[in-house]
Structure 1
Amino acid sequence: MRLDRFLAEAGLGSRREVKKLILKGRVTVNGRRVRDPAYRVRPGEEVTLDGEPVPTPQGPRYFLLYKPRGYVTSTRDPHPTVMEFFRDVPRAERLFPVGRLDRDAEGLLLVTDDGELAHRLLHPRYRVPRVYRVRVRGEFPEEKLRAFEEGFVLDGRRTLPARARILERGEEDTLLEITLFEGRHHQIKRMFRALGFEVIGLKRVRFGPLELGHLRPGEFRKLSPEEIQRLKLTTASARRPR
């Protein structure tokens, strides 16, 4: 592992901050002063900062949160953010949400400190599926489902083909399941608006291999080793929606 990453994952600051510590000569490896942030720390080597041992990083952490309505998917905002649920988690300041859910939306949200994996999960190249339960006002006709497969032009670009099916339909509202393979700003609301329908309820129930399960709003849990492995395999190669 690079020395600057080693120090950052040990909780000593951002990559930029720890690089300054290294360049100032405050870091040693096995008693030898190292000024190269790219130095590769090998297992068993002792790293110190100002003579104090630096603990070996514990590795990235992964949490699944049921985001309630009314919370902003951000680390900082004037409104309550999803990070308030992680106040008592050690090194919480290094955690961040992966992707976004609107303030009035709810459901599954991945929270981690693994920036590399987060970048891949959000990149359209990997076609990571996001599954939503969407309630719209009025009776949604079956024939309009085809529009999601054909795509919508948003911000001058056509959306990737999506999947859509009706779960419940009544005269006053309709519940649908929508699967997206990308995440654009207010994408679901804008797609339904283009069809003349208003979204009155939005809940994400799956992200890649992760499912919301039995969590209640505001609850979160750690991912199991098996879930983490499946999550990483999701971006092992570029995928296309089936």
Structure 2
Amino acid sequence: MKITGKLVSNQFNLHLNQTKKLTPITIKPSAILLDEQSSLERIARRIARAGLCSRREAENWIVNGRIKLNGKILKTPAITVTKNAKIMVDGKPLPKIKQTRVWLYHKVRGTVTTAHDPEGRKTVLDTMPRDMQRAITVGRLDINSEGLLLLTNNGSLAHYLALPSTGLTRTYRARVFGRINSNALAKLKHGISIDGFTYGPINVNIDRILNHNSWLTIKIKEGKNREIRRVMKYLGLHVNRLLRTSYGPFQLGNIPPEHTKEINTKLLNSLLAFSYKQSSNDSTVS
């Protein structure tokens, strides 16, 4: 895999998705991107900002006794620390918090979105350069899906971007096999429940209907495990190709397969400020 360069602002097609009100999380991107350590913050967030893991993973590490605070093993993540706190992870000092970095990656089919796969399958991190080996993925794409995947060294930012309440729209192009029922697809904008699982609003646009396969553009905000495939199957459609083209304001564009582009800090702050502003307004899949 090759790093193909940094993005410039005109490569982004910033778009606004408006209709339904969502409640954004309370942490603004500017707070998440703060490179200096805050005077007071939850210890799990401090660990996540050091780039070792996500905030949720840090909480699990604490419960499992892997974290020491000022020489004592922690038993609960409900601890607020100062910037001078001495935190140890598996006996090693917590790394210095680095400047936040975000990469856009073009995932291909056949790779898994995890750091280590017990089945020995190829992961998206296998071919990453050394400075990205500890990168955290923002959500996941299943092994048979392809397209845009976000990575960052900031666990709190990864958590923020993945939350449904943040209101970022994930856009996909799907090739499906089966008979298209436009009325059934249109009703998905109100959400749907399947076998006890409830999925939020899904916007589907029919791009092209062929003899056997059709192309759809699908927009969702939740990104639950295999959500699109399960919903399409329920409607009698088999997804034989699924490509994510955008995640909030971040676009796949012309990034080649298995290549990455890093977003420069100034542009990153602008994009996050834009996405936060939109999630604070009336917004839904459009």
Alignment-mate amino acid for residue 229 of structure 1:
S
Contact 1:138 1:197 in 2 (8 A): yes
1:33-73 C-alpha deviation (Å, 9 max, x unpaired): xxx992325xxxxx9x9xxxx99643122110000110001
Does structure 1 residue 20 correspond to structure 2 residue 63? no
Show the counterpart of 2:81: 38
Question: Quick one: structure 1 residues 10 and 157, their matched pair in 2 at CA, closer, same or farther if it must change by over 3 Å?
Answer: closer
Question: Quick one: structure 1 residues 102 and 55, their matched pair in 2 at CA, closer, same or farther if it must change by over 3 Å?
Answer: closer
Measure how far apart 1:143 and its partner are: 2.5
Alignment-mate amino acid for residue 173 of structure 1:
N
Show the counterpart of 1:201: 241
Q: TM-score, normalised by structure 1?
A: 0.77
Q: Quick one: which of 251, 262, 276 aligns to 1:211?
A: 251
Alignment-mate amino acid for residue 23 of structure 1:
G
Question: Quick one: structure 1 residues 7 and 183, their matched pair in 2 at CA, closer, same or farther if it must change by over 3 Å?
Answer: closer
Measure how far apart 1:233 and its partner are: 4.2
Matching of residues 10-159 of structure 1 within 5 Å? 20=68, 22-23=70-71, 38-40=81-83, 57-77=97-117, 78-86=120-128, 88-90=129-131, 92-154=132-194, 156-159=196-199
In 2, Cα distance between equivalents of 1:158 and 1:21: 40
Measure how far apart 1:202 and its partner are: 0.2
Question: Quick one: structure 1 residues 58 and 116, their matched pair in 2 at CA, closer, same or farther if it must change by over 3 Å?
Answer: closer
Show the counterpart of 1:231: 272
State the percentage of identical aligned residues: 29
Does structure 1 residue 172 correspond to structure 2 residue 215? no
SS for the counterpart of 1:121 is helix
In 2, Cα distance between equivalents of 1:184 and 1:74: 16
Alignment-mate amino acid for residue 38 of structure 1:
V
Measure how far apart 1:148 and its partner are: 1.7
Measure how far apart 1:228 and its partner are: 4.3
Does structure 1 residue 162 correspond to structure 2 residue 202? yes
SS for the counterpart of 1:165 is strand
In 2, Cα distance between equivalents of 1:221 and 1:89: 15
Contact 1:2 1:38 in 2 (8 A): no
In 2, Cα distance between equivalents of 1:85 and 1:231: 28
Contact 1:72 1:103 in 2 (8 A): yes
Question: Quick one: structure 1 residues 200 and 56, their matched pair in 2 at CA, closer, same or farther if it must change by over 3 Å?
Answer: closer
Structure of greater Rg: 1
SS for the counterpart of 1:94 is coil
Aligned length: 217
Q: TM-score, normalised by structure 2?
A: 0.66
